[in-house]
Chain A
Amino acid sequence: MTGFPLLTAVLLAPICAAVLMCFVSPKAAQSIRIISATAMTVALALTLYAFFSYDLTAGGMQFKENIPWIKDLGVHYALGVDGISLPMLLLTDLIGLAAVYSSWNITNRTKEFYILLMILIAGVTGTFIATDLFIFLLCYEVVVIPIYIMVIIWGSTKRVSKEYAGMKLTIYLLMGSAFMLVGVVALYLMASSVLGVNTFDMEALAIAGQMGLLSENFQIFAFLLLLLGFGSLLSMFPFHSWSPDGYAGAPTAVSMIHAGVLKKIGGYGLIRLGLLVLPLGAKFWAPLIAGLAMINVMYAAYIAIAQKDLKYVIGYSSVSHMGYVLLGFAALNVVSVSGAVANMVAHGVMSALFFAMIGFVYEKTHMRSITELRGLAHQMPRVATGFMLAGMASLGLPGLISFIPEFTIFVGSFSVYPVFAVLAISGIIFTALYTLRVLAKVLFGPKDTLFDRYADAKGAEMMPLIILGIALVGFGLFPQLLMGMVGTGTEPLLPLLERLADTSAVIGGIR
């Protein structure tokens, strides 16, 4: 790319839309929707272009941009994508566009809703493309407040009130980020003193960490702080309880973006900052993470079985799936980390589709409980297709997006944590249990005339299904598209991870 700031354009598309919408009359709801959809389509098109023109043989950071930003802190407006962040960026724009369409029927304060949605998407986009830690943090925290406002205004009150859900979500994430901020400040100061320059550049920090310039004790300490921040974002046990409540209270678009991409910032941050900058710390805490990952997988799946509310089922299911990501991370080898990254993409697409479908059904019927909904496949065949696609992907059916990533995680982690890997594989049985049970009850069975008056998805309502369905099947049939890209991001880690395997310092000395 010569000259054209592709990533800035991707970042600015939603921001421009938000600014533009400020000047549109609140009554012009359709214009507002179209502006948002256009902005996200542009962003998605640019991202797809980046995805397919990324030079796989060269690897590393591409489409780089770098402008000095704040001199005395050493901040640069630095953007770039590699094999790890590009799939996440693609995921963001896919789900962003789908979220715009699944909010098509919102009539209450449409203008504010879409402005906040665009800010939210811009924030998430920024975290994945920033290569400067300051810009990363800036974008990371931007997302919290729009989510709160969206939940309390457009959310739904069922088991918990939407105000409670919104505040719980916000406080959990902010408390996590408070610890993370201390860790980042400590890291910044330590790296600045050993490197001799003030810098927030993630690559420079990674060099400092990997060259052994940061002492082992410091890395262990700083990694713990980051783990508290990113772990609570990734809904790692015991910081997971915001996730089901939050998703249940949130409007559809927020659930989609939150479960689909926002959570993934936690996993992405653990790899980008935790593993690359603080490798010894990652190694030290890995057994603990693996143990917690197991609890995530088993415990959350177990709870999901008992849930009645569809959103709670998917909420706990997403906590459970994040366990696989954590396990892949904790195994600390190239195969398992690739699996973790790919699984984040897979779960993102799948859970966003799930939430889009639940949101659609709820919007029409105002029902979400699996005791009330039944036989929907008769009246809503298209929605049922979406449910089936997402459900089958959730239990890892081959040919859909999440089979290869999960398989990769198991292969990678089996050699390191054989017991945990076996337990995690058996977690699939639980997943199958709750997924199939829900699908069977909600979609199939005798026709109920109660639902005859609800129309199936059509027009714009179909778009989330089409967009996410294509991704779900496409990456499932051609896994190399995804895995090849992820591989270029994780293969450079090989020497680092091999070196780590030889260092013996792990928590409690267990392996």
Chain B
Amino acid sequence: MNFAAINTEIFILVLGLFAIIMDLALPKDESRKAIGGVLIFSLTAWVAYMFTMYTPQSIIADGGTGTRYFNDMMYVVDNYSIFFKQLFIVATVFTMLFSLEYMQNVLRYKGEFYALLMTALLGMCVLASANDFLTAFIGLELMTISFYILVGARISSKNSSEAAIKYLIVGSVSTAVMLYGISLVYGATGTVQFYDMLRNPALFSAAGLAGATMVMIGFFFKLSVIPFHMWAPDVYQGAPTPITAMLAMGSKAAGIAVFMRVLYVAFPLIGFYWLPILAVLSAICMIGGNIMAIRQTDVKRMLAYSSIAQAGYMMVGIVSADFAGMKAVMFYGMLYVFANVGAFAALSLVEQHRGNSDYKAIAGLAKSAPVMAAVMTISLLSMAGIPPTAGFAGKLYLFTAVVNQGYLWLAFVGFIMSMISVYYYLQVAKAMYLEVGDDEPIVISGAARAAAVISVLATILFGVWPEKLAEITNLASFTFLQ
């Protein structure tokens, strides 16, 4: 029992408990912003500390991996998982930062909100480190169950409750499918551990293959890959905006993290046959997501379809199944966080002040909140992959990786669809800059402004000079492949 290996998880758990206790201790009518402030501050410090956890290049070069295990290989802490945990924490910190006001004004149960956000974060971290199917399942459930509640947190809103129920039902079905798959795989191979499954010939029995397929379908639900995407638009639209942001960046990245580990570590041989299918699925996601996004009139819904397309882009990196591909996925995942923070920070502001998030509500935002309009535009362009934003560098990494593996057609699909996506992203820009809306200036809290501006600066910095982020992702994917 190497408890030092799971210090991040322990820390997050403590923060979650702290939020609950503080909520009980504080008088009922007092603002809960202080809880959020403490969480933001401690998590930021922890992210900085986590940079020291990486196994440096020098040790890897000597043949060491520096990987730590907890509880007999059940739980693995390598550079790969550290990177993803940092990503989740960064996403959570930014989300809390821009939604301090939102939570205080819109939600009824504020303290619980922070506590649940911490348990969701804990679930994501477990997913990134899980090294057997049961641990992965626990992480997944911890994350999704927290999200079921969070999605329905706007109790007064019908949409929010509807979204929560939908998410619960679809989520449970996918969980059931996955769990059944896991049981079949266990039945065939006699193990749930990823390493033991690696070269287990029993996996190629009928039960093993069926199980593996069902596990993957379970993941496709979580990643909202077309044709398993039906829940995403409704849930994204109904959920409180900060939670939509967390679903888009955190939940999706967590799914990607565990999916890559399952695919490359547990099922590498089956995975080999799966890659062409994944390539087709990612193409369907890119085409379908982008085309359906064009028709939307609600920005949150548009972002839901766009996030389906983004899942497609990330799967492009998974398809290439090599060092460059993994690194590209991680790079893209990180920059997608910053792009989402920018977009949702602006959007939650709009929703808070104008009560809605459709194209009419954002009209004239450039007049009433010029900074937020600029942030929104740049963030959306990053999702579309237009330089000098990070999206361009990310897409270049993704598509060089996959073209190198011989999937030239996928690069065609990807680049053309990302240019088409510019069309609907620019519709948002047009509504904000051209159309006349409510001219009344919107007061933006310092925290929200900080979150938005920092995320945009990061987006541009990683676009113009991706060196540092590329180094870390290199480190992360390098140890994974050893």
Q: Which A residues form the contact surface with B (CB < 8 A)?
A: 69-73, 134, 137-139, 141-142, 144-145, 148-149, 152-153, 163, 167, 170-171, 174-175, 177-179, 181-182, 185-186, 188-189
A142 touches B388 (CB 8 A): yes
- Contact across chains for B429 and A171 when beta carbons are under 8 A apart: no
Q: State whether A185 touches B399 (Cβ < 8 A).
A: yes
| B433 in contact with A149 (CB, 8 Å) | yes
Contacts of A182 in B (CB 8 A): 399, 403, 408, 411-412, 415
Which one, B408, B419, B430, B433, contacts A175 given CB within 8 A? B419
A69 touches B430 (CB 8 A): no
Residue interface bits B412-441, CB-to-A below 8 A is 1, else 0: 100110111011001001100110000000
Q: Beyond the given A139-B387, A148-B426, A153-B434, could you list 11 further A-B residue pairs with CB under 8 A, ordered by the A residue number?
A: A70-B467, A71-B470, A138-B464, A141-B392, A170-B426, A171-B422, A174-B422, A175-B419, A179-B412, A179-B416, A189-B404
- Chain B residue numbers with a CB within 8 Å of A177 are 419
A69 touching B465 by the CB < 8 A rule? yes
Cβ contacts under 8 Å, B393 to chain A: 70
User: What 0/1 readout, one digit per residue, does chain B (376-391) give for beta carbons within 8 Å of chain A?
Assistant: 0100010000111000
Whether the Cβ atoms of B418 and A178 lie closer than 8 Å is: yes
User: Are the CB atoms of A138 and B416 closer together than 8 Å?
Assistant: no
With A and B bound together, what is the CA distance between A182 and B463 in angstroms? 19
The listed residue (B386, B433, B471) touching A152 by CB distance below 8 A is B433
Question: Which single residue of chain A is at the shortest CB-CB distance from B415?
Answer: A178
Q: Is the CB of B470 within 8 A of A72?
A: yes
Write out the residue numbers on chain B whose beta carbons fall within 8 Å of the beta carbon of A134: 396
Instruction: Return the CB mask of B448-482 against A: 1 if under 8 Å, else 0.
Output: 00000000000000011111001100100000000
Q: Would you mind naming 25 contact pairs between A and B with Cβ atoms under 8 Å apart?
A: A70-B465, A71-B467, A73-B397, A138-B387, A138-B388, A138-B463, A142-B387, A145-B377, A152-B430, A153-B433, A163-B430, A167-B426, A170-B422, A171-B423, A175-B419, A178-B415, A178-B418, A178-B419, A181-B415, A182-B411, A182-B415, A185-B400, A185-B411, A186-B403, A188-B400
Q: Which residues of B contact A185 (CB under 8 A)?
A: 396, 399-400, 403, 411
Complex: A178 Cα to B433 Cα, angstroms: 26
**Looking at chain B, what size class is its interface with the partner chain?**
35 or more
Contacts of B466 in A (CB 8 A): 70
Contact A174-B411, Cβ < 8 Å, known A70-B465, A141-B392, A142-B388: no
Distance of B328 from chain A, by nearest CB (Å): 11
- Majority DSSP secondary structure for residues of B touching A: helix
How far apart are A73's CB and chain B's nearest CB, in angstroms? 8
Partner of A178, one of B327, B396, B416, B471: B416
Instruction: Please give, as numbers and ranges, the residues of chain B lying within 8 Å of A163 by CB-CB distance.
Output: 430, 434
A188 to B465, CA, bound (A): 19
- Compute how far the CA of A60 lies from the CA of B422 in the bound complex, rounded to whole angstroms: 38
B471: chain A residues within 8 A (beta carbon)? 71-72
CA distance A141 to B433 in the complex (A): 21
6 tightest Cβ-Cβ pairs between the two chains A and B = A174-B419, A178-B415, A138-B387, A178-B419, A178-B416, A141-B387
Which A residues lie within 8 Å of B474 (CB)? Answer: 72
Knowing A138-B392, A185-B411 are in contact, say whether A70-B470 is a contact too (CB < 8 A): yes
B378 to chain A, nearest CB (A): 9
**Which of A139, A141, A167, A177 has the most chain B CB atoms inside 10 A of its CB?**
A141
Q: How far is the CB of A143 from chain B (nearest CB, A)?
A: 10
Closest Cβ of chain B: how far from A46's Cβ, in Å? 22
Contact B426 A186 (CB under 8 A): no
A477 to B253, CA, bound (A): 64
A134→B474 CA distance, assembly (Å):
20
Question: Nearest Cβ in chain A — how far from B450, in angstroms?
Answer: 17
Closest to B463 in A: A138
In the complex, which residues of chain A have a beta carbon less than 8 angstroms from the beta carbon of B429?
A: 148-149
Neighbour of B423 across the interface among A69, A144, A167, CB < 8 A: A167
Return B453 CB to nearest CB of chain A, in Å: 12
Residues of chain A lying within 8 A (CB to CB) of residue B387: 137-139, 141-142
Q: State the CA gap A171–B419 with chains docked (Å).
A: 7
Is there contact, CB below 8 Å, between A145 and B467? no
Contacting pair A175 B416 (CB below 8 A): yes
Q: How far is the CA of A79 from the CA of B400 in the complex (A)?
A: 24
Q: How far is the CB of B415 from chain A (nearest CB, A)?
A: 4
- Least CB distance, B464 to chain A, in whole angstroms: 7
CB neighbours (8 Å) of B412 from chain A are 178-179, 182
Among B415, B418, B429, B465, find the residue whose CB has the most chain A CB atoms closer than 10 A.
B415
* Docked complex: B41-56 residues within 8 A CB-CB of A: none
Closest residue of chain B to A180 (Cβ to Cβ) is: B415
In the complex, residue of chain B having the shortest beta-carbon distance to the beta carbon of A68: B467
Inter-chain contacts of B418 with A (CB < 8 A): 178
Chain A's closest residue to B367 (CB) is: A109
Give the CA-CA distance A177 to B412 in the complex, in Å. Answer: 11
Chain A residues positioned under 8 Å from B423 (CB to CB)? 167, 171
Residues of B within 8 A of A179 (CB): 412, 415-416
> Known interface pairs A69-B465, A152-B430, A189-B400. Does A145 touch B408 (Cβ–Cβ under 8 Å)?
no
Closest to A137 in B: B387
Are A145 and B386 CB-contacts (below 8 A) given A70-B465, A189-B400? yes
> Which residue of chain A has the shortest Cβ distance to B397 in the bound complex?
A73
- Which residue of chain A has its CB nearest to the CB of B422? A174
In the complex the two chains form, what is the Cα distance from A153 to B411 in whole Å?
A: 34
CB distance from B386 to the nearest CB of A (A): 6
Q: Which residue of B lies closest to A176 (CB)?
A: B419
Is the pair B400, A152 in contact by a Cβ cutoff of 8 Å? no
Residue on B nearest A193 in the bound complex, by CB: B404
